[in-house]
Structure 1
Amino acid sequence: MPDAAIETALAHWAPRLIQNGVDYNDMTSTVARTATWADWLPQWNRTADEQAAFAREADAAGHALTAGQAWRRASVNRHFGKFVWMLDTDLAAEATRVSVQETLAALARLDPTGERLEVPFADGTVYANLRRPPGVDRPPYVVLIPGLDSTKEEFFFFEQSFLDRGLATVSLDGPGQGETGLVLPIRPDYEVAVSALLDLLTGRSDLDHERVGVAGVSLGGYYAPRVAAHEHRVDAVVGISGPFRFGDMWDDLPPMTRQTFVVKSGARDDEEGRRLALALDLTGQCERIAVPALYVTGRLDRLIPWQQTQRQAAETPAGTFVCFPDGNHGVSNLPSKARPMIADWMADQLGAGSAADRRAAA
């Protein structure tokens, strides 16, 4: 019987694992042999290693597609193994680094446009993955922002929903996230990292810099409105299950989520973590947003109450609020409804569209 921490993790995030590419069979077999939270990352590493071994076999046989798909599965398995798992930060950091390389191996085989970006920033480097839609010379693009312990390696299928509609994607590990977070802690003014990214991209002729969107999930749903409030180059923003003020629900967060914030923010203890979480506050920010904004959440969200996201929309001049009655955190239990809606909305705002949409309009 799994311990309470494992039961909590599955109750909150099992649909999210599946939505973002964890094979259901990998999940069930891994959970079945995991007795305690301490076993969680080691057992997910074992599952990821099995997929990586299969990927190497496929590579050796010259089967690039099969290898790419296996590398993607290895990466996302390993990512979710160290997701909000703070029991051994060195082991979690190593899993982060390996997951990054596995996603790059997957992109090299599955998407020839995939490109790793290294963005000079403050006292470190911010990392991102760029992907471009086929058949579009200068596509608009969307910066995709993860949450508290999410990373760009989690976004392969989220990216695809935008790519299919003619939008390029730039998935970002900002301060406190993924490989960037190994050096740079969480900061409330996340927009400075996106500004540095946009500065780097400005010199590229293969992207349309007059049509730029930003979309963030969970804590990224706080970061994305911050970006839109301060970065004039953003033309549309989506926030998914984001908090208005993260510290408001501190006492109700799962213990592993609070511990993750403490570690990722550089706080000394839980009380300092609470204080830093209260600094992630959109008071006076949403009213500065001058572009179309879509806020999406689920009424059954047990991590970020839907009223927090609703407040974001209410205080944004051009804000639209969509709440799925049966949706959970990130609406990850309804991906066939939420993701197409979000991607269609962004494509409409940026004047993009899929090849099928363009043919229908012709």
Structure 2
Amino acid sequence: MKVYFSDPQFDYQLLRLLGATPDGGADIGECLTTAQRITEGDFESWYSEWLKTAQRLNALADAALKAGHTVSAREAYLRASSYYRSAEFYLHGNPDDPRIQSTYDASIACFRQYNALSTHRATAVEIPYEDTTLPGYFYAVPDTQGTRRPTLIAQTGFDGTQEELLGTALAAVRRGYHCLTFEGPGQGRVIRKQGRPFRPDWEKVVTPVVDYLLTRPDVDPAKIALYGLSFGGYLAPRAAAFEHRLAAVIANGGVFRLFDQHSVPPDTTVEETTEWARSQPDAFNAQMEQAMQANTTLRWGIQHGMYVFQAASPAEYWLKGVEYTLEGLAERITSPTLVIDSENDRSFPGQPQQLYQTLTCPKTFLLFTADEGAGEHCQVGAGLLSAARIFDWLDETLKP
């Protein structure tokens, strides 16, 4: 689905931002006029133009708050948070770029201002994890009067932040589910502030999150579901292979392994590429650097991958990434699992089907199509339709 840019990576990220509109995370005119100022494929142009829009909305929000217009302030803070997050998106080619921290901080500050002004605000929580904590937001169904309710754990994937999961959380609450969003290693605050990269054994991350929920008197311990978005479609099933207290698992879209045959040239294999990266890292790096100059998606993917995996080179990133596989593990999942695919998904083509076919637990396969406007990766731009089908499945799965 083309929106504005000829560059598919920039166009997808624009659609992703537009997809936040139903829940107030963006406004169409603001997004399109910003896009018109951006030079195709230029990461610096992307940063500077989204930053200008974010700062303008931030100033409008501050002025509205000072004047006592709390609704206007709340709405502007949320959009500013989204635009700051978008501005920061392509900065990770230099992990020491100070703009990563300052822009991320501005995004979080605006989201917290939005939340503080919200009628039904989320509660920021710190989840015990090893020798530190993981950040989360607990979105409670209002007026529950201590009733234990089903609860959705929602996690992002390769490049998102938990603030971006606001739409999912609100959709859950509207349907009577509490929702806990969180960030683990490699994500959001945990990589930017705590310096912890992704780890393949994601059950070591999710189990403490489940432990935390079981301490809450408002959570039904028999009805905890786990939702993984994008690369979270690997992380959630990986956790569920070991964490059997989950009543349901949702992989949107399903990911069997981070790197597969679609990640390498057609005349080679994943195994051959891995051996090349291991035995000739300099040659591997040189070829990747050359390919990155001609492909915005590849350039961003490798730069960001190196950042969130704390890899010093493309070869090191590849060698770390091949460890992320559900081979021999998917069969261990016992929870009912929803595997989702999108017709035009270019991120992990064919992998939802592979995951679905490997599962031996109760399972459902759900395909979103381009004709219904939901054919892009994670159904960006069709969040309401996506939420309707996902939560309808969850309702049916968890009902007595």
Distance verdict in 2 for CA 1:329–1:113, change over 3 Å: same
Distance verdict in 2 for CA 1:9–1:204, change over 3 Å: same
Is residue 55 from structure 1 mapped to residue 67 from structure 2 by the alignment?
Answer: no
CA distance in 2, matches of 1:264, 1:144: 19
1:148-175 Cα shifts (integer Å, max 9, x gaps): 1101111111211111110011111111
Distance verdict in 2 for CA 1:63–1:138, change over 3 Å: farther
Displacement of 1:254: 2.7
Q: Which amino acid aligns with 1:68?
A: R
After TM superposition, list the pairs within 5 Å mapping 1:220-259 onto structure 2: 220-248=232-260, 249-251=262-264, 254-259=298-303
After TM superposition, list the pairs within 5 Å mapping 1:16-95 onto structure 2: 16-20=16-20, 21-35=25-39, 36-89=42-95, 90-95=98-103
Match of 2:325 among 272, 281, 288: 281
Partner of 1:360: none
Partner of 2:189: 179
Aligned residues: 347
8 A Cα contact 2:185 2:198, kept in partner = yes
After TM superposition, list the pairs within 5 Å mapping 1:97-246 onto structure 2: 97-136=105-144, 137-182=147-192, 183-246=195-258
CA distance in 1, matches of 2:307, 2:163: 20
Partner of 2:351: 308
Match of 1:335 among 368, 371, 383: 383
Query: What is the SS of the residue equivalent to 2:222?
Result: coil
8 A Cα contact 1:250 1:274, kept in partner = no
Q: Scaled by the length of structure 1, what TM-score is found?
A: 0.90
8 A Cα contact 1:258 1:270, kept in partner = yes
Distance verdict in 2 for CA 1:39–1:170, change over 3 Å: same
CA distance in 1, matches of 2:312, 2:211: 33
CA distance in 2, matches of 1:84, 1:177: 15
8 A Cα contact 2:51 2:83, kept in partner = yes
CA distance in 1, matches of 2:51, 2:13: 18
Is residue 297 from structure 1 mapped to residue 341 from structure 2 by the alignment?
Answer: yes
Distance verdict in 2 for CA 1:68–1:350, change over 3 Å: farther
Q: Once superposed, which parts of structure 1, at least 4 consecutive aligned residues long, lie more than 4 Å away?
A: none
CA distance in 2, matches of 1:134, 1:350: 20
Partner of 1:347: 395
8 A Cα contact 1:250 1:258, kept in partner = no
CA distance in 1, matches of 2:148, 2:108: 27
8 A Cα contact 1:124 1:184, kept in partner = no
Query: What is the SS of the residue equivalent to 1:130?
Result: strand
CA distance in 1, matches of 2:136, 2:6: 30
1:56-87 Cα shifts (integer Å, max 9, x gaps): 12212222222211111111111122224314
8 A Cα contact 1:228 1:289, kept in partner = yes
CA distance in 2, matches of 1:209, 1:105: 32
Q: Which amino acid aligns with 1:296?
A: I
Q: Scaled by the length of structure 2, what TM-score is found?
A: 0.82
8 A Cα contact 1:97 1:179, kept in partner = no
Partner of 2:282: none
Distance verdict in 2 for CA 1:68–1:266, change over 3 Å: same
Partner of 2:271: none
8 A Cα contact 2:244 2:335, kept in partner = no
Greater radius of gyration (CA): 2
CA RMSD of aligned residues (A): 2.0
Is residue 269 from structure 1 mapped to residue 281 from structure 2 by the alignment?
Answer: no
8 A Cα contact 1:146 1:220, kept in partner = yes
8 A Cα contact 1:167 1:347, kept in partner = no
Identity %, equivalent residues: 28
Displacement of 1:200: 2.4
Displacement of 1:178: 0.5
Displacement of 1:270: 0.6
8 A Cα contact 2:341 2:352, kept in partner = yes
User: Which shifted more, 334-343 or 169-178?
Assistant: 334-343
8 A Cα contact 2:93 2:307, kept in partner = no
Distance verdict in 2 for CA 1:250–1:268, change over 3 Å: farther
Query: What is the SS of the residue equivalent to 1:140?
Result: strand
CA distance in 2, matches of 1:291, 1:339: 20
1:13-65 Cα shifts (integer Å, max 9, x gaps): 33221112322222222222223311222321221111111111221222222
8 A Cα contact 1:55 1:68, kept in partner = yes
Displacement of 1:135: 3.1
1:244-269 Cα shifts (integer Å, max 9, x gaps): 11111434863201211111101111
Partner of 2:14: 14
1:279-313 Cα shifts (integer Å, max 9, x gaps): 110112221111111011112111211x1011111
CA distance in 2, matches of 1:346, 1:294: 9
User: Which shifted more, 172-181 or 187-196?
Assistant: 187-196
CA distance in 1, matches of 2:58, 2:115: 14
Q: Which amino acid aligns with 2:79?
A: R
Unaligned runs of 5+ in 2: 266-296
Distance verdict in 2 for CA 1:87–1:24, change over 3 Å: farther
8 A Cα contact 2:14 2:35, kept in partner = no
